[in-house]
Chain A
Amino acid sequence: MSENLSACMMRMVETDYALSDYQSDIAPRWCVGCGDTAILTAMQKLCRDEQLAPEKTVCVSGIGCSSRLPHYMNAYGFHGIHGRALPVAEGVKIRRPDLDVFVTTGDGDCTSIGAAHWIHAIRYNMNMTVLLHDNQIYGLTKKQASPTSPIGQKSNTTPFGSVLLPLNPLTVTLGVANVSFVAQAVDWIPDLLYDILKKAFHHRGLSFVRILQRCPEFMQHRFDDYVRDPSKMRILTHGNGLRLSPEVSRVYKNQETHDPLDMGRALAIAAIADEIPVGILYNDPSVPCYDDLRAGERPSTPALVETVLREEFDKVTIWPDDAEPVAAE
């Protein structure tokens, strides 16, 4: 009770965060035209619109170009070990469930060296927002094929083209037990990137957002066809998903009404190869969060401890026959 009160008081005193309140004094060290910049901007706008207190917000990353993001957010940051962003974020969240935790991880960090943690983080379904910055190449080590690189992709480790089918982060995530929220965004439609991040943030559970992003240095023309031709983008809309503004709707006419509870269709959409689906593929708010399951397992808040203790004491309380129970003062 007193906690809520002080939180309310804090909120009354400290409202009106501006965009600049989420910008750190370090200038981003990303190449000109890097998709990471659009994602950073969308995150900062989200924080402002949700009026998230910077001191109650945490950005956790691993290693890679995208993992530099925590340095550029004025919030708590943790630039960790390659592939370990998700477990570090789990550690933060389990100790401080009151903090809003964002994870920024790249296709190398998440789908390659950190793949084991990725699968289990989905299964734990802790309440956090995970942004997979997927430029389909290792950028920080300067152009080596990643697990999501398209077949035939030439790189410094695949000089004659990658021979393996790329891993599809959407179908993989949708296939894991306890998955509760999967979406896809692209860096070149900032309005939808923002809307999707907002949906992801408001979902209780692990929201996984794969963001296809351009790498102007090593994947120069990878998404040119999609950027130039809006009909190649399939926008997923629904009452429980994205609702498009007239401006976006006018440009992106290739739309599909998709119920985010429809797992069968979500899997089919995730596997689409010739178009890029953008929107909420799957969202089931009824999937239990690890946070809630743990709460049921062992009381951890003072209020819960008190409730359980009272129940236990009531079992052994003997009321005198001739007296009515008297409510405690």
Chain B
Amino acid sequence: MIKQTEGSQAVAEAVALCRPEVICAYPISPQTHIVEGLGALVKAGDLAPCEFLNVESEFAAMSVAIGSSAAGARTYTATASQGLLFMVEAVYNASGLGLPIVMTVANRAIGAPINIWNDHSDSMSQRDCGWIQLFAESNQEALDLHIQAFKLAEEMSMPVMVCMDGFILTHAYEQVDMPDQAQVDAFLPPYEPRQVLDPAEPVSIGAMVGPEAFMEVRYLAHAKQTMALDRIPEIAAEFKEAFGRDAGGLVRGYRIEDAETIVVALGSVVGTLEETIDTMRAEGVKIGVLSIRCFRPFPMAAVRAALARTARVVVLEKSFAVGLGGIVSTDVRLAMVRIHVRGYTVVAGLGGRPITQDSLLRVLRLAVADELKNLTFLDLDWDIVNRHLAREAATRRSGPIAENLLRDIGSGARPTTAGKAQP
């Protein structure tokens, strides 16, 4: 059924159609509307049988999820930013135990400084935690990915994180095609756990494993993620057959067949990039976009195949490894080993900085001319940066950076794209 709805509400309804039996969450922007929507469905009796638990923290949310999943319940939670970081110990525990929990991460920056706006720092901080990570380009895909996520998680017996851009997707009203219960039931069979706390077949979950087998347990997690690389495109194909829509899979190319330049990105910014690429194509530039829809497991072969015949790659990412540069780019470069491609990293949109077509056109034109620096920060305001560096050089006790910068640009004002910005 076609409907006009908020991204969060669409995800809430899609998750409800998957018949989760336990939902536990702690509110954090911009995730709140998803769990509020589910809370309302549970309390109204529209989603039954299902327990909705208002826990006291994200740490509790993931810990409860571990317990309920181990007890055989299809389990769902959602979080963002600081909330994801607070639950990290339990996040690793869930994957280490192989519990098929599905979690939405409404992507948001990590503080300090406190910032509620979108980037991918939160999910990227957990790229090595053993969860599968899927990224949604649109509200429709976010909705569809959740239905696929439960199937994937339960088949592989490993947890899945569905990442969707905070506010840009979660709070945007868009048209979505909402499947009906019968369609989802036909696609997603009831949860059949690989391991469960069952009095009829007593087991303990959470063994202590010493040097004799720890590496093997960890390797098996990697082996299973590698198997997921095969299963993810298959599930996307099954989904397309059942629902008639293209969603999920490992990567998706847009106008890359003859492209001499390919921009690699994740999430909602792919839409902006496609329009930018159309503009450049109209100018005769052979350029395309590769959307990474599955970041963990990293689709090394698929990325390599997509980039094999291009001359240059620009990785545009909303995340940043301080002291190194790109996070996504590092993985993409691994896929480019021994193929002769020039690589550029553009870090963009941190803490909600708008990524505009004008700015994208500027850096991509520089990239096409091979005049772009290897590492570029889109729309970074050098005046602000240099002013602070000068202050630090002049004064030992120069004070907190964030507060100084706010004072420099006018107290209380939120930094926006500056006019004088240069790549």
Q: B-contacting residues of A (Cβ < 8 Å)? A: 25-26, 63, 79, 81-83, 112-113, 115, 138, 140-142, 144-145, 147, 156-160
The answer to whether the Cβ of B345 comes within 8 Å of any Cβ in the partner chain is: no
A145 to B39, CA, bound (A): 12
CB pair A158 B54 closer than 8 Å = yes
Closest chain A CB from B55 CB (angstroms): 9
Decide: A158 near B43, CB < 8 A? Known: A113-B57, A145-B54. Answer: yes
Q: Sort A-B residue pairs by CB-CB distance and give the 3 closest, nearest first.
A: A113-B57, A156-B36, A141-B27
Q: How far is the CB of B72 from chain A (nearest CB, A)?
A: 24
Q: How far is the CA of A113 from the CA of B44 in the complex (A)?
A: 27
Residues of B within 8 A of A147 (CB): 56
Rounded to whole angstroms, the CA-CA distance of A147 and B55 in the bound complex is 9
B82 touches A157 (CB 8 A): no
- B82 contacts A81, CB within 8 Å? yes
- Contact B32–A156 (Cβ < 8 Å): yes
Residues in B with CB closer than 8 Å to A83 are: 57
A98, B139: Cα distance in complex, Å: 54
Taken residue by residue from 71 to 84, chain B's Cβ proximity to chain A (1 for < 8 Å, 0 otherwise) reads as 00000000000100
B410 to chain A, nearest CB (A): 11
Q: Is A144 a contact partner of B411 (Cβ separation < 8 A)?
A: no
Chain A residues near B412 (CB-CB < 8 A): 26
B52 to chain A: which residues have CB within 8 Å? 157
Q: Whole-angstrom distance between the alpha carbons of A63 and B85 in the complex?
A: 15
Question: How distant is the Cα of A147 from the Cα of B57 in the complex, in angstroms?
Answer: 11
**Chain A hits for B242, CB < 8 A:** none
Chain A residue nearest to B28 (CB atoms) is A141
Say which residue of A82, A141, A159 sits within 8 Å of B39 (CB atoms).
A159
**A138–B35 Cα gap in the complex (Å)?**
14
CA distance A142 to B8 in the complex (A): 15
Residues on the B chain within 8 Å of A63, using CB: 82, 114
Q: How far, in whole Å, are A79 and B43 apart by their CA atoms in the complex?
A: 35
The residue from A81, A138, A159, A160 contacting B27, defined by CB atoms under 8 A apart: A138
Q: Assuming A82-B82, A159-B44, is B26 touching A113 (CB within 8 A)?
A: yes
Judge if B29 is at the interface, Cβ distance under 8 Å: yes
Q: A169–B40 Cα gap in the complex (Å)?
A: 28
Instruction: Pull 8 A–B residue pairs with CB atoms less than 8 Å apart, ordered by A.
Output: A26-B412, A83-B57, A113-B58, A142-B32, A144-B36, A145-B54, A157-B39, A159-B40
Chain B: CB-nearest residue to A167: B56
Cα distance A113–B43 in the bound complex, in angstroms: 24
Bound-state CA distance A159–B45 (Å) is 11
With an 8 Å Cβ cutoff, the count of chain B residues facing the other chain is: 22
A138 cross-chain contacts in B, Cβ below 8 A: 27
Give me 13 other A-B pairs in contact (C-beta within 8 A), A79-B114, A138-B27, A156-B27 excluded: A82-B86, A113-B58, A113-B86, A142-B32, A156-B39, A156-B40, A157-B39, A157-B52, A158-B54, A159-B39, A159-B40, A159-B43, A160-B43
Q: Which residues of B contact A160 (CB under 8 A)?
A: 43-44
Minimal beta-carbon separation of B332 from chain A (angstroms): 33
Q: Are B27 and A157 in contact, with the CB atoms below 8 A?
A: yes
Secondary structure type dominating chain A contacts? loop
Q: Chain B contacts of A141 at CB under 8 A?
A: 27-29, 32
Tell me the bound Cα distance from A157 to B411 in angstroms: 35
Kindly identify, within residues 316 to 347 of chain B, every residue whose CB is under 8 Å from any CB belonging to chain A: none
Q: How near does chain B come to A132, taking the closest CB pair, in angstroms?
A: 15
Contacts A113-B57, A157-B39; A144 near B27 (Cβ below 8 A)? yes
Q: How far is the CA of A140 from the CA of B116 in the complex (A)?
A: 12
| Complex-state Cα separation, A140 to B32, whole angstroms | 11
| A254 CB to nearest B CB, Å | 34
Residues of chain A within 8 A of B36, CB atoms compared: 144, 156-157
* Cβ contacts under 8 Å, B27 to chain A: 138, 141, 144, 156-157
Contact residues in A for B35 (Cβ distance below 8 Å) = 157
Q: In the complex, what distance in Å separates the CA atom of A81 from the CA atom of B114?
A: 9
A contact residues around B26 at 8 Å (CB) = 112-113
Q: How far is the CB of B85 from chain A (nearest CB, A)?
A: 9
CA distance A112 to B111 in the complex (A): 20
Known contacts: A82-B82, A141-B27, A156-B32. The answer to whether A112 contacts B57 by CB under 8 A is yes
Q: Is the CB of A26 within 8 A of B56?
A: no
Q: How far is the CA of A112 from the CA of B32 in the complex (A)?
A: 17
Chain B min CB distance to A88 (Å) = 12
What is the bound-complex CA distance between A275 and B86, given in angstroms?
Answer: 38
- Closest residue of chain A to B60 (Cβ to Cβ) is A113
* Complex-state Cα separation, A192 to B411, whole angstroms: 34
What per-residue 1/0 map shows which CB atoms of B107-125 lie under 8 Å from chain A?
Answer: 0000100100000000000
Q: Smallest CB–CB gap between A304 and chain B, Å?
A: 29
Output the nearest chain B residue to A115 by Cβ-Cβ distance. Answer: B56
Q: How far is the CB of A157 from chain B (nearest CB, A)?
A: 5
Give Cα distance in the complex from A145 to B36, angstroms. 11
